[in-house]
A and B are shown apart, each in its own frame.
Chain A
Amino acid sequence: MHRHARLLAAALAFAAGVASAQVSPDLAFEDRLKRLEADLRCLVCQNQTLADSNAPLAEDLRREVRTLALSGKSDDEIRAFLVARYGDFVLYRPPVKESTWLLWFGPFLLLAGGVGAWLAIVRRRRRAELGTDAGGPALAPDAATRARDLLDEKSSG
């Protein structure tokens, strides 16, 4: 157990050494690239981000993003560069435009519909409740007549 722990510690130290050797001194720059790449889609393995994908194209695109960033391009300019070549599909956050209105505002439409239906049901129930004199639960007209008949029968009999 003890030996395993020591081995693990050694492995971790080695891994940390390797990792730190690859990190460029400008951590903020690396961080910016990571965040940018996490928002871009790899076109080969379509459910992975550019940051996560091991596909050769993803490597090429990461290199391209890095080159553009080093040449002083802003995040928006880099995104525009990729969109011009691969379309909006590369963006994990689709832009708001005519063809994506339903995507962006559809949920709110559904919510409005739900609220509308809920209000309508509540209003109908309240009206039905107000319609009965006792204020108890509302009865369908035929059920109400039947109940009245039964009550009348009992009292007369």
Chain B
Amino acid sequence: MRALRWGLPLAIFAVLVGFLFVGLFRDPREVPSPLIDKAAPAFALPVLHQPERKVAGADYLGQVWLLNVWASWCVACRVEHPVLVELAKSKVVPIVGLNYKDKPDEGIAWLAQHGDPYTLSVVDGDGRVGIDWGVYGVPETFVVDKAGMIRYKHIGPVSPEALQQTILPLVRRLQQS
């Protein structure tokens, strides 16, 4: 009886502390995407540097590719940009840019200034395609497999660690399958 009187509140307290402790290391801004393992939402958008040409997500069927959501007004995009430029140099995987709610001339100027890691960028001026992809903050990066399924979503700037430890191993695995 005495054990219960002391042990029960202690156990409840321990569980509470456990929950709060785990909560310390979780980022409430990272909302898990329901699109993982689902078909990538279709789009057909003009290319940033060739507005008369349209590119669709389906054009990339058969290869693993990344979709990186960026904008010239996005400060955090500058943080991840060198990481993407390095990745582009390695030519491991094509990176398609989704120029999100940006003015095309400002986007082009931004790429000229900071380097262009993208195979090509498509223009999503009103953010309509962004909504289909569940974009709620820039930058975001999606890994799409050969069958056109979204396999992973990275929210926020891609760090070198995230690239080396999570994204690239996944890309290699998907390329081999």
Chain B residues within an 8 Å CB radius of A44: 136-137
**A28 to B132 Cα, complex, angstroms:** 28
Q: A78 to chain B: closest CB distance in Å?
A: 13
Q: Say if the beta carbon of B32 comes within 8 Å of chain A.
A: yes
B85 interface contact, C-beta 8 A: no
Which residue of chain A has the shortest Cβ distance to B31 in the bound complex? Answer: A89
Q: Which of A64-88 contact B (CB under 8 A)?
A: 64, 83-88
Choice from B28, B34, B128 contacting A87 with Cβ under 8 Å: B34
Report the minimal beta-carbon distance from B73 to chain A, rounded to whole angstroms: 10
A85 touches B133 (CB 8 A): yes
Cα-based distance from A44 to B35 in the complex (angstroms): 18
How many A residues are at the interface, by size bracket? Answer: 10 to 19
Contact residues of A between 33 and 78, Cβ < 8 Å to B: 43-44, 46, 56-57, 60-61, 64
**How many B residues have CB within 8 A of the partner chain?**
18
A86 touching B31, Cβ below 8 Å:
yes
Question: A84 to B31, Cβ gap below 8 A?
Answer: no
Find the B residue at minimum CB distance from A59: B127
Binary flags per residue of B17-33, CB closer than 8 Å to A gives 1, else 0:
00000000000110111
> Does B3 lie at the interface of the complex (its beta carbon under 8 Å from any beta carbon of A)?
no
> Is A57 a contact of B136 with CB atoms below 8 Å?
yes
A85 with B34: CB separation less than 8 A: yes
Central interface residue in A46, A60, A85, by most chain B CB within 10 Å? A85
Give Cα distance in the complex from A57 to B136, angstroms.
7
Identity of the chain A residue whose Cβ is nearest the Cβ of B38 in the assembled complex = A84
Query: Which 3 pairs between the two chains have the least Cβ-Cβ distance?
Result: A43-B136, A85-B134, A87-B34
A-B contacts, 29 of them at CB < 8 A, read: A43-B31, A43-B136, A44-B136, A44-B137, A46-B29, A56-B101, A56-B127, A57-B127, A57-B136, A60-B126, A60-B127, A64-B131, A84-B34, A85-B34, A85-B35, A85-B131, A85-B132, A85-B133, A85-B134, A86-B31, A86-B33, A86-B34, A86-B134, A87-B31, A87-B34, A87-B134, A88-B34, A89-B31, A89-B32
